[in-house]
């Protein structure tokens, strides 16, 4: 059996393989509610054989959405449509995870494929358009095109932490197997962590210890609200890729502290601030997952331009990470794990397909003498 298709366990959860779908915002929700788009988008990954599907950045408070069309879990009505998705993922052999997030000063942004706030009045109504003033550690915008945020006081921070706790309980009610804490990509928790965005002069700013304080308080509150037998992942930006920003060493320390609190895996991404110089290319973030795995002695997920079965197999076989996460490659090929099995596994790989399709694809391949 390949390493990639060897099951792996985190607390009481066993994934059937080590290929996971990374969270991907769809900018397709109204009032934070999941709908049929999310059901089909996520459901097809379960049919495609992924061991774990992580639902997109889901806002813990309304002002924490990146855009007005983000998903949310700030009220009970948002549980039911997610529950339907979780049940489908489970019925088709995938574990179900959700990324809980707050965008901080990057909130109230534009929908990426629009590139600007160019919604017509009719569209605004149909899309439930909203814009608002974001909150952040300090009164500094992300970029010139972003709104100026209000700086959070301690009461505001406590309200957001409580939002994370409530969303954690709602995730449990929806049936999720794991939660991923979003503390990467220049969003709120990353803004506290990084000197690029954190200019505070209270106990939450200045030294690394102080900058880690709020993210770790939130992380601990989520751990306390989530059952002991269920795992937690945290997504971090392992480096800011900016002179004067956080380094790999800073984030190895952060990963150690997350592990101490009870986080089971660190999902190793990078960057999120304006001015980052990112050496983008195949597997460009894999060394970051390896550095955190060795430096913090914690399980990691590697992500970022991992596209082939052989690459993914090597990452696991070489001990660079414990699981691999795919985003754009999963959009490109939602059946990626089933196709990777054909390359890496022997025996009847068609048995891993949904029964409605496996026999037919087997017949097709036989007819073509593959
Ligand atoms: C459409 C899209 C939406 C994304 N949304 C999220 C998100 O909600 N949360 C997050 O942490 N990363 C998000 N990302 C980043 C991906 O999870 C992933 O880290 C990144 O795309 C690199 O992996 P890839 O090369 O396999 O696409 C998104 C990426 C894409 C392409």
Spacing, Cα 22 to ligand 1 middle (Å): 6
b/e map 200-239, b = 16+ CB within 10 Å: beeebbeeeebbbbbbbbbbbbbbebbeeebbbbbbbbbb
Spacing, Cα 361 to ligand 1 middle (Å): 30
Q: Are 54 and 21 in contact (CB under 8 A)?
A: yes
Percent of the chain with pLDDT over 70: 100
Q: Are 322 and 8 in contact (CB under 8 A)?
A: yes
Spacing, Cα 57 to ligand 1 middle (Å): 9
pLDDT in tens, 111-157: 999 999 999 999 999 999 999 999 999 999 999 999 999 999 999 99
* pLDDT of amino acid 284: 97
Spacing, Cα 256 to ligand 1 middle (Å): 24
User: How many Cβ atoms from other residues are within 10 Å of residue 5's Cβ?
Assistant: 22
Taking CA atoms only, the protein residue closest to ligand 1 atom 11 is 23
pLDDT in tens, 270-290: 999 999 999 999 999 999 999
Which neighbouring-strand residues pair with 329? none
Q: Give 3-state DSSP helix, strand, coil % of the chain, rounded to 5.
A: 40, 15, 45
Tell me which residue of 35, 53, 32 sits closest to 44, measured CA to CA. Answer: 53
* pLDDT of amino acid 341: 97
Chain centre distance of CA 366: 39
Q: What six digits make up the tokens of 169?
A: 């309980």
Mean pLDDT within 69-97: 98
Phi-psi region of 353 (alpha: psi -120 to 50; beta: other; left: phi over 0): beta
Ligand 1: which of 23, 107, 276, 330 to mutate, most ligand atoms within 8 Å of CB? 23
Within 6 Å (CB) of ligand 1, which residues are found? 22-25, 56-57, 99, 182, 184-185, 235, 269, 303-305, 326-329
Q: Are 77 and 43 in contact (CB under 8 A)?
A: no
Domains for the chain: give ranges and CATH numbers. 8-367 (3.20.20.70)
Ligand 1: which of 21, 24, 307 to mutate, most ligand atoms within 8 Å of CB? 24
Q: Which residues belong to the active site?
A: 187
Tell me which residue of 190, 304, 189, 303 sits closest to 246, measured CA to CA. Answer: 190
Euclidean distance between CA atoms 25 and 199, whole angstroms: 29
Q: If you average pLDDT over every residue of the chain, what do you get?
A: 97
- Helix axis angle, 154-174 to 79-91, nearest 10°: 40
Euclidean distance between CA atoms 331 and 218, whole angstroms: 31
């Amino acid at each position: 059996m390949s390493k990639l298709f060897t099951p792996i366990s985190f607390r009481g959860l066993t994934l059937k393989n080590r290929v996971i779908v990374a969270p991907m915002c769809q900018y397709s929700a109204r009032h934070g509610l999941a709908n049929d788009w999310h059901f089909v988008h996520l459901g097809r990954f379960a049919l495609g054989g992924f061991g774990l599907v992580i639902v997109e950045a889901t806002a813990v408070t309304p002002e924490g959405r990146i855009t007005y069309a983000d998903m949310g879990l700030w009220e009970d009505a948002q549980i039911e449509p997610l529950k339907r998705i979780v049940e489908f993922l489970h019925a088709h052999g995938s574990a179900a995870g959700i990324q809980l997030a707050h965008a901080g000063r990057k909130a109230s942004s534009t929908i990426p494929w629009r590139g600007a706030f160019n919604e017509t009045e009719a569209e605004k109504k149909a899309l439930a358009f909203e814009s608002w003033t974001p909150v952040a550690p300090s009164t500094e915008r992300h970029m010139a095109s972003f709104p100026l945020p209000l700086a959070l006081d301690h009461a505001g921070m406590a309200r957001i932490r409580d939002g994370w706790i409530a969303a954690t309980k709602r995730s449990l009610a929806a049936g999720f197997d794991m939660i991923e804490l979003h503390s990467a990509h220049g969003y709120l928790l990353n803004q506290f962590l990084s000197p690029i965005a954190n200019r505070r002069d209270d106990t939450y700013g200045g030294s690394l210890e102080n900058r880690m304080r709020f993210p770790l308080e939130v992380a601990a509150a989520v751990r306390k609200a989530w059952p002991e037998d269920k795992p937690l992942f945290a997504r971090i930006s392992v480096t800011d890729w900016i002179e004067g920003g956080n380094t790999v060493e800073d984030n190895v320390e952060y990963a150690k502290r997350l592990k101490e609190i009870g986080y089971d895996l660190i999902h190793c991404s990078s960057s999120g601030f304006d001015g980052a110089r990112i050496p983008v290319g195949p597997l460009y973030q894999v060394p970051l997952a390896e550095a955190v795995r060795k430096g913090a002695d914690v399980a990691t997920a590697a992500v970022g331009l991992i596209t082939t079965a052989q690459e993914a197999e090597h990452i696991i076989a070489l001990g660079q990470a414990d699981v691999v996460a795919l985003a754009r490659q999963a959009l490109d090929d939602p059946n990626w794990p089933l196709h990777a099995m054909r390359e890496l596994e022997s025996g009847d790989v068609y048995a891993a397909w949904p029964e409605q399709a496996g026999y037919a694809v087997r017949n097709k391949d036989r007819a073509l003498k593959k």
